[in-house]
Amino acid sequence: MIEARNIEKSYGTNENRFQVLKGISLKIKDGDFAVILGASGSGKSTFLNTISGLESPDKGQVLYDNTDLCALSDSELTEFRKDNVGFIFQQYYLLPNMNVDKNVKMGADLAKNKDYRTIIKAVGLGEKLHKYPSELSGGEQQRVAVARALAKKPKVLFLDEPTGALDEQTGRQVLDYICRLQKEFGFTIVMVTHNQNIAEMATTVIKMNSGNVSEIYTNATVKTAYEIGW
Ligand SMILES: Nc1ncnc2c1ncn2[C@@H]1O[C@H](COP(=O)(O)OP(=O)(O)OP(=O)(O)O)[C@@H](O)[C@H]1O
């Protein structure tokens, strides 16, 4: 269980101070697929970065079961991220001078996972082990990023606009892989997206508005990546 308790975060100082998160409290259950929706500037990425341990809140607590991230030192927080969370962003951040195998192995080495090629195969890139990022399509590059994040066997996968740079067909394909891998490995998903349709794939939908959570609901039934609108 991830629990945010009264999270506040501001940027800037004095008259330029801007409060991005205005006291957010919520819980995300293990194995959940949570989508965070909201207008541009509503604080979605800041909230994601805060509950994933990339940024510290000014006030409040981020609890993973009984561990309060805000009470950890920088080195403890780095260890925590290494052992528990995976990240996927709109930009894939692959290393250009390493092939698919090496890019994914980097993630796998963090968890001493020798079996990482299973994940490369699971994202459909088993035939492309020796290709470099520049030789891959955008969708393939994002799938390498998915494999790299999952190769370290995270308990929680955080995604910030993972399909933002992809066309519809490729976007659906990447989401489909992520969902299938979640069923296989059982990790929790927390995804920020602009695309309202993707919320229909989620078990929990968190709506943000101007630094607050305006609504949280659960979907009784969920759709697949190929059933949603785009
Ligand atoms: N490092 C930073 N320094 C100063 N201001 C920031 C910083 N990061 C974000 N902000 C500001 O905080 C606000 C919320 O940003 P955030 O990226 O969390 O919103 P968002 O809902 O994810 O937006 P988008 O959908 O456009 O990505 C914005 O007004 C942004 O300019």
Cβ atoms of residues 108 and 150 within 8 Å: no
Is the confidence at residue 96, as pLDDT, over 90? yes
Radius of gyration of the chain (CA): 17
Residue 59 CA to ligand 1 centre (angstroms): 18
**pLDDT one-digit tens code per residue, 45-90:** 999 999 999 999 999 999 999 899 999 999 999 999 999 999 999 8
**pLDDT one-digit tens code per residue, 116-154:** 999 999 888 999 999 999 999 999 999 999 999 999 889
Domain layout of the chain by residue ranges: 31-56+83-218
Is the confidence at residue 204, as pLDDT, over 90? yes
pLDDT in the model for residue 75: 95
- Token reading at 88: 């996927």
pLDDT in the model for residue 190: 98
Q: List, in order, residues 6 or more apart from 135 with CB less than 8 Å away.
A: none
User: Per CATH, which fold does 31-56+83-218 belong to?
Assistant: Rossmann fold (3.40.50)
Task: Count CA within 13 A, CB hemisphere, residue 32.
Answer: 22
31 lines ligand 1 (CB under 6 A): no
Residue nearest to atom 29 of ligand 1 (CA): 41
**pLDDT one-digit tens code per residue, 7-22:** 999 999 999 999 999 9
46 lines ligand 1 (CB under 6 A): yes
45 lines ligand 1 (CB under 6 A): yes
pLDDT in the model for residue 115: 87
